[in-house]
Structures are given as C-alpha cells and as structure tokens.
Amino acid sequence: MAGGSRATEGNGRFAETASVTQRKAGRMTIRIITFDISDGPNADRVFDALKYAFNPDIVILVEFTVRRRDSRSSGPLSWQKVTAQVVDVGYESGRPGAFAIKVNIPGFDTSEGLYDANTRKGWLELVPSTRVNLSARR
C-alpha cells in the first residue's frame, strides 16, 4: 500500500493505516478505526439488506465509499469501496433517512456508525477483530 492512502486492501478488507483512536473499556484498551462515508446505499437498500440479514438463502450486501477520517490525501485514490452486511438499523434524531447503523465487515468485531441515506454521507467506527484461532495453537 503506497503512502498509506488506501482504505482497503485488494481482498476488500480495511487496511490498518486508518485513523485509530483508543478507548478504555474496563481494564482493556479498545482500538477504534474511524472512516468517513462519502457515498452509500439509499434507504430502501439499507432496509432490504436488514430484512434478509439473517436469512441463509438470501444475502443482500451494501456498498459504501469510505476514507479514513484523518486522511490528508485527496482525489480518487483516497476513497475506497467496502462491502458490508447490515445487521441493525435505528432512527437517529427522528429525521427520515438518518440511521444509527451496524454492519458486518470481515476482520472487524464491531462496525457501527451514523449514516444519512438522503445525503449518502456518514461515518463508521470499526473495532478490529481480536479473536484468536485456537486450532492454530496445536
């Protein structure tokens, strides 16, 4: 990844070069990576994806165009597309089209943020996966 300006790797996973903050959760420190959304699905697509989120026969994914929050670079290479599965939606501020959203993105335990389907803008906070593959220890 040249210059750290790419938000995703070739396999569609987020790179570790994103804006990173840390929060204390009890005795643990949690790394949180924040991305801004510049484009994404309309409200109908968000709810269709949520409606089938737990149906094993139908998978509806959504695509967001994201950039790490502290990116100093601009232009087409600084914005990248990421595909996600919507697993929870809540209305934000009572304004139609504005959602508190949770999505599943491979490689992350938690992926949530705010998204406005009218403006197609928002942000996602991601917590990288901390799962340990116990079978690899044998």
pLDDT by residue (tens digit) across 8-47?
Answer: 343 344 444 445 555 555 666 778 889 999 999 999 999 9
Question: Is 58's pLDDT higher than 60?
Answer: yes
Report the predicted TM-score, pTM, of the whole model to 2 decimal places. Answer: 0.70
pLDDT in tens, 82-136: 999 999 999 877 788 899 999 999 888 888 999 999 999 999 998 888 765 545 4
Q: Smallest Cα–Cα separation from 5: which of 76, 94, 110, 92? A: 76
H helices present in 1-138, as ranges: 43-51
pLDDT at 107: 82
For the stretch 36-56, pLDDT in tens is: 999 999 999 999 999 999 999
* Whole-angstrom distance, CA of residue 40 vs CA of residue 19: 20
**pLDDT tier for residue 4 given thresholds of 50, 70 and 90:** very low
